[in-house]
Amino acid sequence: MSLTRRDFATRSAITGAGVALAGSVGSLASAPNALASTDTESAGESTAARHGGGVGYGPLVADPKGILALPAGFTYEIITYSGRTKLESGEFTPSNHDGTATFPGPRGTTLLVNNHELKGPRSKWTYPVPLTEGLVYDPAASGGCTVVEVRPDGRVAEWVGIAGTSTNCAGGSTPWGTWLTCEENSDKAGVNGMTKDHGYVFEVDPGDRRANRDPKPLKFFGRYDHEAVVIDPKRGHAYLTEDASGPNGLFYRWTPPKGFDHGPGRFRTLADDAGVLQAPTCYDSGGRYVDDLSRATKIGTVYGVDWVDVPDRDAKTIDVRKQFGDGEVTRARKLEGMWWGDGGAYIVSSYAREESPVQHDGQVWFYDPKRRTLTLKVLLGVNPDPSKDGAFDGPDNITVSPYGGLVIAEDGEGVQHLFGATDSGRTYPIARNDLNIGTEEEPEYSEFTGVTFSPDGKTLYANIQTPGIMLAITGPWKRQKR
């Protein structure tokens, strides 16, 4: 049954009860259960000191090795490093690390599936994902996933999970212990040297190598520039994000066919047109249609959501997002990372510029499937000087922290951080990328990706995308106060 606009207008109200904050990123709003963005350390003063103690871990200490700045008492280890560490087969670790998730492995090991965001032909990259026999979708494509095993004694092993895919970006884990890797590229066969159509989702099982043979695209999720995916463990729906512009991308819901039981390998049994793929139509408390999520300018804004069927999910003649006319769906720029938690999906829009009605430097939304609502949890104003440390912008990959709140990876301009955010809106730095891949005169720092905790919550894993470094961060983790 659809939640009608009239019903929503009657039942709901926009909270808008935020406190306006002014900071180096401009104007942003914050409210209980929202995420703020400007409370980083500055001039040597820790976040905890400014907030009266109890929040975060203090100021970041520059790394003498020039890789990762961390709070005092924290340390890091390099798990994989593109062009330096090697796979079991002898090839070098592929480059451009992106989305990652952890899974408990046998005999106390931790298994990680790591996307490699490599676009276009293999000749373009020094370290593409190796074409391991039986695990290749398109031999012309350079991307894919590797599986990393971290053993209790610290030893590391790495092997290919899938190869021959393109631009593997955020992805997402499933409740049954597998990984869904997403292609953020929809080149058709014959374009950029590709021999097969791309723009699909594939399932990778970190614990069963045989299950990954003969990769099959899960076409029922649609063919477009995928970013992330989460699974509703109660209802069975999949939610997916699209990173695209001209027009802006969409947030999708896939409903499984009636009677379908989820589980390892079960997606392979479905037909290409199984289930229903839909895009959202949002409206405000007055029942007015909302064309783009950037319209929301107050934390606590709530939109009702209806779902509209996608006409041609495989985009045979026209891109999926272009199949809808004005007034039919609600769009957003840079729809990126997602994470399932608190009974719903946290969804990131990294930024919005001239291609959007309103400019911003990041939003985090929460979709409540029970109420069928989207609530704005964080809104970052445009950062006027990203080269200066102290402000957060461009949120991308996110994860729910076992110590409360979220941990967010930056993909903005200038300085790049991992930062935490408490339920009440306090933020604090966790790490800063100190690896300059530019010049002394014009420094450049790669984005963070793949932020995820180990199954026991003791280790925070994250990647520096370029050149491709997986890091394990440990230290005196503690429950963060609200």
The pLDDT of residue 14 is 33
Greater confidence, 239 or 378? 239
Mean pLDDT of 255-273: 97
pLDDT tens by residue, 69-117 = 999 999 999 999 999 999 999 999 999 999 999 999 999 999 999 999 9
3-state secondary structure of 338: strand
Show the CA angle centred on residue 454, arms to residues 453 and 458, nearest 5°.
Answer: 90
Cis peptide before 247 (omega within 30 of 0): yes
The pLDDT of residue 272 is 98
Quickly tell me which residue has 């200490």 as its tokens. 61
- Give the residue from 117, 68, 110, 121 showing the smallest Cα distance to 94: 117
Q: What are phi and psi of 81, to 5 degrees?
A: -150, 115
Please state which of the ranges 17-31, 46-60, 279-293 shows the lowest mean pLDDT.
Answer: 17-31
Mean pLDDT of 28-55: 39
Contacts of 431 (CB under 8 A, 6+ apart): 60, 68, 69, 70, 76, 417, 418, 448, 462, 473
Could you tell me how many residues make up the chain? 482
Quickly tell me which residue has 């951080």 as its tokens. 417
Greater confidence, 220 or 41? 220
CATH superfamily, with its number, for domain 5-474: TolB, C-terminal domain (2.120.10.30)
Token pair, residue 349, equals: 């829009």
3-state secondary structure of 408: strand
pLDDT at 9 over 70: no
The pLDDT of residue 66 is 97
The pLDDT of residue 37 is 36
Show the CA angle centred on residue 15, arms to residues 9 and 16, nearest 5°.
Answer: 120
Query: Model confidence at 383, in pLDDT bands (50, 70, 90)?
Result: confident
pLDDT tens by residue, 134-179 = 999 999 999 999 999 999 999 999 999 999 999 999 999 999 999 9
Query: Model confidence at 410, in pLDDT bands (50, 70, 90)?
Result: very high
Q: CA dist 301 to 177, 295, 343, Å?
A: 34, 10, 19
pLDDT at 133 over 50: yes
Single-letter amino acid, residue 462: A
- For the range 42-51, what are the long-range contacts, defined as Cβ-Cβ under 8 Å and sequence gap of 24 or more? 42/390, 47/426, 47/427, 47/428, 47/429, 48/428, 51/426
Single-letter amino acid, residue 420: G
Query: Model confidence at 50, in pLDDT bands (50, 70, 90)?
Result: very low
Q: Residue ranges per domain, the chain?
A: 5-474
Cα pseudo-dihedral 158, 460, 252, 135, rounded to 10: 0
381 by Cβ neighbours in 10 Å (0-12 / 13-18 / 19+) ranks as buried
Most confident of 28-32, 302-306, 363-367: 302-306
pLDDT at 38 over 70: no
Mean pLDDT of 318-323: 98
**Calpha distance 271→222 (Å, rounded):** 12
The pLDDT of residue 31 is 30
**Calpha distance 99→168 (Å, rounded):** 8
Q: Global pTM?
A: 0.90
Token pair, residue 299, equals: 């934390």
Greater confidence, 428 or 226? 226
Please state which of the ranges 286-290, 353-357, 366-370, 386-390 shows the lowest mean pLDDT.
Answer: 386-390
Mean pLDDT of 58-71: 97
- Give the residue from 155, 140, 150, 143 showing the smallest Cα distance to 109: 150
The pLDDT of residue 53 is 55
The pLDDT of residue 392 is 86
Quickly tell me which residue has 């907030």 as its tokens. 51
pLDDT tens by residue, 22-36 = 222 222 333 333 333
* Residues 159, 89 contacting (CB under 8 angstroms): yes
**Calpha distance 210→207 (Å, rounded):** 9
Q: What is the percentage of the chain residues whose pLDDT exceeds 90?
A: 80
**Calpha distance 295→283 (Å, rounded):** 11
Mean pLDDT score of the chain: 89
